[in-house]
């Protein structure tokens, strides 16, 4: 659909490199013409579309917004989003799909312990057996947190039911917000979020799926702090995990002292080994362009631990200085930069290019999607969802993906 605005894109891939892109839309390919709806489209590993876009939400009253998506190795996926169920309240809704995009069952209400107020910022991770865990920010819920907390709930594919809702954070002072979650595809899940318990830090906590626990999840240890820079604002974390449990966390940092970007917001990251220990002694600066703001990090990691971080940058090495552009940088499994400087994803540079998401395909392919104010294609009605597919430094041009100059980006595997 090219009518009105298309925003808030998210992306996920399966083991074969097929991807699903979801977004919120002020127009719809389905029955929802009331307000914002959730749309999706499937693509093959070569970037070719596998059919037209389709509407995810069944409920069509009021707004459906801010989707997230997770996919398992065999291609099954789940979409979660915020659904406006009254004049001022939002619930978290989930919809399951087969690998070919066929709905499995009906919409699922995720938040059960508290259904008033605004449930927001949903994130989801899916195991290979079809289980998935949703986390979100809530003004109340399970556990004894009097402030805004991070709540979670696990769907069990074997029983077709949710386990009990649970409290993710164990430190309850201050507000907890902006969660993200990743899994090894088996029983380990890693949740990260913003905590304002003392300063504005990035918290993390591991959970193990447990069939014999009422919540279906058991925390492995108390929550930890990811960032080592102790002051300023640490915000908007993103996380990705390999099948062996190695992980990468990235976030926005205001005035970080690690690296050369100490003026405003920069993108920082730290790697975790499979046993949960940090591989980096301190935060590692990702961006090389250090003028103005670098915000809203997204991450993807492949099976051997090479990873990519994307973000929006006000100004760039490529000369996109008028507005925000989408940048990314790749690193090998040892944390060494593959790209000497930031790589710009967008070739269309008029208006804002921001809110990126990334996913690895097969054989080193990389998918980058983002929200674009304007378009090099047929959608000129405000914001559109754009994407690019990379393969060993050569752009693969496909319907639905932005075309442009060849990138210098290349993926190198394990040495």
The CA dihedral of 297, 301, 306, 310, to the nearest 10 degrees, is -20
pLDDT per position as a tens digit, 254-284: 988 788 888 799 999 999 999 999 999 999 9
> Is residue 204 included in any domain, yes or no?
yes
Question: Which CATH number belongs to the domain containing residue 235 in this structure?
Answer: 2.120.10.10
pLDDT of 262: 83
Any idea what DSSP says for residue 273? -
pLDDT given at position 341: 92
Residue 87, C-beta contacts closer than 8 angstroms, at least 6 positions apart: none
Prediction pTM value: 0.93
> Cα(175)–Cα(146) distance, rounded to whole angstroms?
9
Is residue 34 domain-resident?
no
Specify if 371 maps to a domain: yes
Answer whether residue 60 is part of any domain.
Answer: no
Whether 252 is in a domain gets the answer yes
Instruction: Name the pairing type of β-strands 37-43 and 19-25.
Output: antiparallel
pLDDT of the chain, 415 residues: tens digit per residue: 555 688 999 999 999 999 999 999 987 666 656 678 999 999 999 889 999 999 999 988 888 999 999 999 999 999 999 998 766 689 999 999 999 999 999 999 999 877 777 899 999 999 999 999 999 999 888 888 888 999 999 999 999 999 999 999 999 999 999 999 999 999 999 999 999 987 899 999 999 999 889 999 999 999 999 999 988 899 999 999 999 999 999 999 998 878 888 879 999 999 999 999 999 999 999 999 999 999 999 999 998 888 999 999 998 888 766 689 999 999 988 899 988 899 999 988 888 899 999 999 887 789 999 999 877 765 566 788 999 988 755 555 444 454 333 344 433 322 2
Classify residue 335 as left (phi > 0), alpha (psi -120 to 50) or beta. left
List, in sequence order, every residue forming a beta bridge with 385; answer none if it has no partner.
371
pLDDT at 379: 57
Residues with Cβ within 8 Å of 294's Cβ and at least 6 positions away in sequence, in order, are: 252, 261, 265, 266, 267, 287, 311, 312, 313, 314, 327
Residues 6+ apart with CB under 8 A from 214: 163, 164
Dist CA 21 CA 37 (whole Å): 14
Q: Which residues pair with 193 in a beta bridge?
A: 203
d(CA 37, CA 20): 16
Task: Say if 269 falls within a structural domain.
Answer: yes
* pLDDT value of position 408: 41
* Domain-embedded: residue 258: yes
Residues 120-143: tens digit of each pLDDT: 999 999 999 999 999 999 988 888
Contact between residue 228 and residue 201 where contact means Cβ atoms under 8 Å apart: no
CB–CB of 388/378 below 8 Å?
no
- Tell me the residue range of the domain where 241 lies: 73-375
Q: Angle CA(364)–CA(368)–CA(371) in degrees, nearest 5?
A: 175
Which positions ≥6 away from 336 have C-beta within 8 Å?
A: none
* Within a domain: 402: no
Give the number of domains in the chain. Answer: 1
């Amino acid at each position: 659909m090219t009518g009105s605005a298309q925003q808030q894109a998210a992306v996920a891939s399966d083991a074969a490199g097929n991807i699903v892109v979801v977004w919120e839309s002020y127009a719809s390919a389905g029955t929802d013409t009331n307000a914002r709806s959730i749309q999706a489209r499937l693509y093959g590993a070569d970037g070719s579309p596998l059919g037209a876009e389709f509407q995810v939400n069944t409920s069509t009253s009021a707004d459906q917004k801010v989707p997230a998506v997770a996919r398992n190795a065999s291609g099954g996926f789940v979409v979660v989003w915020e659904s406006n169920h009254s004049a001022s309240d939002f619930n978290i809704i989930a919809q399951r799909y087969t690998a070919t995009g066929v709905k499995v069952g009906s919409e699922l209400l995720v938040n059960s312990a508290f259904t008033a107020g605004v449930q927001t910022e949903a994130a989801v991770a899916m195991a290979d057996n079809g289980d998935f865990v949703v986390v979100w920010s809530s003004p109340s819920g399970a556990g004894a947190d009097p402030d805004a907390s991070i709540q979670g709930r696990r769907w069990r594919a074997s029983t077709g039911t949710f386990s009990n809702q649970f409290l993710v954070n164990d430190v309850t002072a201050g507000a907890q917000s902006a969660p993200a979650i990743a899994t090894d595809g088996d029983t380990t899940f890693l949740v990260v979020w913003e905590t304002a318990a003392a300063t504005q830090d990035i918290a993390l906590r591991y959970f193990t799926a447990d069939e014999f626990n009422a919540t279906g999840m058991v925390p492995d240890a108390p929550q930890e702090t990811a960032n080592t820079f102790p002051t300023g604002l640490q915000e908007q974390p993103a996380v990705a995990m390999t099948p062996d449990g190695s992980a990468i966390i990235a976030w926005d940092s205001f005035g970080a002292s690690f690296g050369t970007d100490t003026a405003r917001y920069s993108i920082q990251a730290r790697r975790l080994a499979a046993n949960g220990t940090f591989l980096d002694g301190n935060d590692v600066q990702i961006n090389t362009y250090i003028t103005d703001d670098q915000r809203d990090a997204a991450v993807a990691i492949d099976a051997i631990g090479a990873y990519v971080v994307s973000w929006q940058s006000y100004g760039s090495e490529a000369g996109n200085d008028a507005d925000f552009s989408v940048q990314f940088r790749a690193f090998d499994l040892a944390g060494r930069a593959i790209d000497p400087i930031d790589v710009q994803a967008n070739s269309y540079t008029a208006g804002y290019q921001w809110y990126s998401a990334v996913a690895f395909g097969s054989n080193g392919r990389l998918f980058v999607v983002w929200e674009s104010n304007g378009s090099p294609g047929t959608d000129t009605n405000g914001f559109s969802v754009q994407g690019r597919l990379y393969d060993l430094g050569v752009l693969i041009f496909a319907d639905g993906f932005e075309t442009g100059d060849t990138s210098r980006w290349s993926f190198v595997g394990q040495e």
